[in-house]
Chains A and B, each alone.
Chain A
Amino acid sequence: MSKHYQFESFLSMTGANADERFNHRSSETGAVVAALAAAVGVSVAAPAISNAKVKAGIDKVAKDLLANKGQGLVICGSNDVNIQLLVNAINNAIGAYGTTIDWSAPLNYRQAIDKDFSDLLTEIENGTVGTLMIYGANPVYTWPEQDRVKKALSKVKLKISFAEKLDEISELSDYLVPTHHFLESWGDGEATTGSIGFLQPTIAPLFKTRQWQETLMVWAGKTEPYADFFKNFWVSRLGGETAFLKVLQDGVSLTRGEAAISGGSYSAAGIEGAVAAVNAIPKSSKKEVVLYQSNALGSGTHPANPWLQELPDPITKITWDNYAMISVSTADELKIDYKSNDYEYYPQKPIIAVKVKGKELKLPIIVVPGMDNNTIAVALGYGRTPSLGTTYVDEHREDKKVGVDVYPLSSFNGTSVNLYTIDAELTNTGENYKLAQTQIHNSYEGRVEVVKETTLATFLKDKEHYADDAKHLYETYTKKKGATRADYIKSGTLYAEHEPQGLKWGMSIDMNACFGCGACVIACHAENNVPVVGKSEVLRYHDMHWLRIDRYYVSDENDPNDLKGVIFQPMMCQHCDNAPCENVCPVAATNHSDEGLNQMAYNRCIGTRYCANNCPYKVRRFNWLDYTGADSFPNNQDQTVVGKLDPAVFHMNDDLTRMVLNPDVTVRSRGVMEKCSMCVQRLQHAKLDAKKEGVPLKDKHIRLACSSACAADAIVFGNINDPESAITKEREDNPLRTFYVLEQLHVLPNVNYLAKIRNTDEIIGGDDHHGAAEGHGAEAGHEAKPAAEGAHH
């Protein structure tokens, strides 16, 4: 099994998936890397690491990397070139070149050089720039010195911005040239060398816009349309129209194929300088602020997308805001009682003032275990100008902004932008701010029927443990020795049993593979017309996500800051065969299909909510208000006393935005219960496809929104009556990790989970094993995960 170590200063999503984590200050990243370099045999002087835990961690990682030469990989999360040079040295020393690193297929994105922009800024200030054309960049917002950029721009005579929609820099430009939306555009990309992807228009332009490339061509006096130019370019590069059309049809061309891995060449030149530079990185004894790109909004390019705004953060489960993630000990220092009911059960969270570089920002906090004690973390990408769009507005705030813009806390160090800052001072303002969380409780309370997780060594010691648990349940329940799940299914209900014939749908979710990103949540949103409810309604616990990712912290009870691990558990309707929701609905609006689906007849639903109460998984979502404008009451979205809706909801309901609705899925009206349907519209489609082909329905016909969006293939879905289906194989291949959540309730879910196994020495949940380290490397593999160093995602 692979092993993933993480050194970082705050709990990132990547770190949350690590087998073992170590916390350090951001300003210490260089020192940690240098120490690791020294420990793996790079000839550099090891700096002193004061934190004993981190120091021990470095030694341990070095030992593991050296013991598994050619199988490890160290990834650098810093944009500091000197640190990157040291990481290269480490990778060279541990034999990663040509084994885990392939130099022949480099990644081609994130190639921007901060210094180039800084130089441009100087040139503008010197008055040597006459015309500035801007596309896909918004430095008025993203550059550390926003005011300087604004001032500089005023010196440029002609500023032309090509943009899909108004942004901060377009506002300051002389001309705004509206360009196509990506769905209206031609385009191409090469993410890794040799992997070509095409973009082609899927809709006719909605507005009077023109693709920016075409505009440039017109201005340059070319008469050829961009589409032709695009085609001619690729026809000649791909060697013929047939090849071009094939890539166009497939969308991608993976021409690289199975080429040999290239080791590249390593040069140790510059290491000495790098070490010296790293040692010179300023440090402080005060707090540090680390700025990260949030999972949903990234650098802040897409706040106009309410799906992203409403996507709960993988770690904090907060929507529609950024905030300061602070450690448990920092909370203690600030006298924040994070253990109180007030903190957990009410959305009001304390506001702290962060004083740094002569600036003061007020930020609401959220207490997170597994943070470096001296670091607070704040997401970038928030606090965009409210006048730019409906979803940029939070009406409840004085400044009307969604979150706080923390770009001003970043700084340019001469070569790159520092996304952390030292010398921060924190004070508790005594004020409160409502943060809209979709989950408020962080521990799974040792409920082993809900979450099954263990360490590799414990698992290997007692491989049958989970299977035995299930067997014990089946035997005690049926009062029959050697009872199986089939016996368990047959027993215990008064009603006649449904013989599964033909199709019977099932899903398996691998908790080892899921890393909590939430792509499935967005996919589900888009596919199933799941309404956006806005921050005001998320605050009332009215979020509508059919699919959510439950996140639990596993912490030491005596030391809440000592995070042992994080669990991500995608949770959606479990499509129980003995469903507690079905028998309580007075009008049979929710009922069972003969394919094992628990289905909702929206038209029949009268909204008693009894089904949601009786759902042990709490996956049912009720249309509390008229989120979609789909009911027949006129003007009933204008509540003022209770349940005032945010502009985002209205935004989702305007004629333009409604174009995102999936025409295959009913838009539910107010007063109706809804939940995961297993993308039943896609299943129907698949059945028709198979029928048209005249073949039995197979896996290839079925693509659920969530499982197709999952980068880790954590969600496997299919027909369990088909012996060749992926779901059948997944369950057959993993009999020792397969479990059903709350199986003891005899609700007979059709969704199973695969237990999470961590490759760690850390003792979790009373495991009494020691020394699991022998398990790492390439043995007993699921997908290989690289060990990572300091990866700030």
Chain B
Amino acid sequence: MSLIRYESQARAPLVEGNKTYHDVTEDICRPVEAKPSKLWWVGFIISLGLLGFGVVSIYMDIVYGTGQWNLNKTIGWGWDITNFVWWVGIGHAGTLISAILLLFRQGWRTGVNRAAEAMTIFAVMCAGQFPIWHMGRVWNGFFVMPYPNTRGPLWVNFNSPLLWDVFAISTYFTVSLLFWYSGLLPDLATLRDRAKLKWSKFFYGLAAFGWTGSTKHWQRHEALSLVLAGLSTPLVLSVHTIVSFDFATSVIPGWHTTIFPPYFVAGAVFSGFAMVQTLLLITRKVLALEQYITMEHIDVMNKVIVLTGSIVGIAYLTELFMSWYSASPYEWFAFKENRLNVNSPYGWSYWLMMGCNVLSPQIFWFRKMRRNILVTFFMSILVNIGMWFERFVIIVTSLYRDYLPSSWSTYYTPTIWEIGFYMGTFGLFFTCYFLFSKFFPVIAIAEIKHILKKNGDSYKAAYAKEEMESYDEFEHNQSHHH
């Protein structure tokens, strides 16, 4: 054994259960090659049902108009854009895990990156539905594309943050998809090689782009991964920054806030990790992958949650302080009366957000809590509820009572079609996720193998003896081997 593989015993192994390379392939390919379980079918059908609900809801919106939602002359955005920002935010964890953690050589990412990246793609797909279908005349939505046209030519308005969104989200989706897919190539080849059925051999063969596992392929693959990681890294920061510009560049009190970009990015990572937790806790259980997605992973992701949750908390308090310190009565009103005031119509939503996002993650300062699956699952749901309300608070509680008291709005509650649209994106998300977990390896086989000999527990255990040796013994033994 070469010393290069040595890793301290202080770090827990990332793959448990004395796995060999073959075990890894078997374990991860099993759910793809076996018939789906009853549980899978139940989940998949429920997801399809939700998706259908969403399709009907959007149909109503398109045929009858945006008036199928309870938005009004004062509150122009409500659940639609709240959901948009929420889903985009969720996507961020996937990119952070796959790109930034790759650049920082964080080995633990390999257990979760595939699923997290898939989550990113599906989340961005869901997010994209909202700015598309929230348009009053979606059939003219292509007007946002800057291309030479026969309408004048009419050009888009490059000053508009909404247009920046178009570019930010489409870039983000493209890069994330490429990154995820290029990572899939070696595993698709594995599935192709193991496939027994003709059609699956054909399907995986087509999907694997002729991957042979040659050194040249690996070398190009590694290079491409790095390039895409390099491209994705700024996206982690820029996408939500640009989404936050929708609000930050406006003149509405509660929106017009320079702290939004970092605040939104932290919030996005925060909610994204919560969603990764939700998904992976279920996935590892259902697909019996507890030895790959270990307690270690859960622990470390909970650390990210408490960190980003606290950053978000500081951001909340900072913007609160600034709203007072700015001495702008409008700004202060938006915070003091529209949010802090529990007795105001939406006061409850601000405190719900505070409770879920700032207070509750503090529980993760305790190792016991970080490593408790039930607590983690419950918290991940709580955080996502909180982060949904963060966007709701920003959008609705800023708009409903802004500058002219004459325009202050009646109480806004969603209609069945607004709820349906949101539920529909859950349907889309889980339909995609269920299909993904059935047809693709939810863990990157190749990457697990890459770290197995360093971080797999049987390999690590082999070094236990060395860890106890004195320097002299160690040197002696090592030189003796040679």
Contact = CB atoms under 8 A, between A and B. Distances in A.
A, B assembled together:
yes
Contacts of B160: 583-586, 588, 610
A756 interface: no
A389 interface: no
B415 A642 contact: yes
Contacts of A607: 66, 135-137
B479 interface: no
Contact of A604 (B136, B154, B415): B154
Interface in B40-67: 60, 63-67
Contacts of A447: 329-330, 403-405
Contacts of B131: 608
A606 interface: yes
A614 B250 contact: yes
Contact of A613 (B69, B144, B250): B250
B162 A586 contact: yes
Interface in B47-100: 60, 63-74, 76-77
Contacts of B246: 610
Interface residues of A, number: 67
Contacts of A580: 250-251
A604 B345 CA distance: 36
B67 A450 contact: no
A341 interface: yes
A753 to B, nearest CB: 13
A624 interface: yes
A441 B246 CA distance: 28
Contacts of B156: 586-588
Contacts of B21: none
B417 interface: yes
A613 B344 CA distance: 21
Most buried by B among A541, A552, A669, A670: A541
Interface stretch (B116-124, B406-414, B468-476): B406-414
B403 A617 contact: yes
A417 interface: no
B448 to A, nearest CB: 43
A616 B252 contact: yes
Interface in B345-379: 345
A789 interface: no
Helix, strand, loop or mixed for chain A's interface?
Answer: loop
A606 B136 contact: yes
A442 B408 CA distance: 10
Interface in A594-611: 604-610
Contact of B406 (A543, A550, A587, A673): A550
Contacts of A548: 406
A233 interface: no
A2 B161 CA distance: 51
A612 B76 contact: yes
B141 interface: yes
Contacts of A571: 404, 406
Contacts of A633: 63-64
Contacts of B60: 641-642
Given A583-B159, A587-B156, A672-B137, A613 B76 contact: yes
A641 B405 CA distance: 31
Given A586-B157, A641-B416, A609 B68 contact: no
B166 interface: yes
A625 interface: yes
A9 interface: no
Given A614-B251, A642-B415, A606 B408 contact: no
A621 B73 contact: yes
Nearest to B344: A341
B162 to A, nearest CB: 4
Given A613-B76, A614-B250, A616-B252, A345 B410 contact: yes
A670 B404 contact: no
B67 A624 contact: yes
A445 B403 contact: no
B140 interface: yes
Nearest to B62: A633
Given A586-B157, A609-B76, A610-B76, A441 B144 contact: no
Contacts of A618: 73-74, 402-404, 406-407
Contacts of A617: 403-404, 407
Contacts of A583: 157, 159-160, 249
A596 B88 CA distance: 38
Interface string B137-164: 1101101100000000011110111110
B214 interface: no
B135 A440 contact: no
Contacts of A616: 251-252, 402-404
11 contacts: A440-B408, A441-B405, A447-B404, A450-B404, A540-B67, A541-B74, A607-B135, A624-B71, A626-B65, A643-B64, A643-B65
Given A617-B404, A642-B67, 11 more contacts: A341-B344, A440-B408, A441-B406, A542-B72, A607-B135, A608-B136, A610-B162, A616-B403, A623-B136, A642-B64, A643-B67
Interface of A: 341, 345-347, 439-445, 447, 450, 537, 540-543, 548, 550-552, 569, 571, 580, 583-588, 604-610, 612-614, 616-618, 620-626, 631, 633, 636, 639, 641-643, 669-673, 741-742, 745, 747
Top 5 closest A-B pairs, CB basis?
A: A607-B136, A671-B136, A624-B67, A541-B72, A550-B406
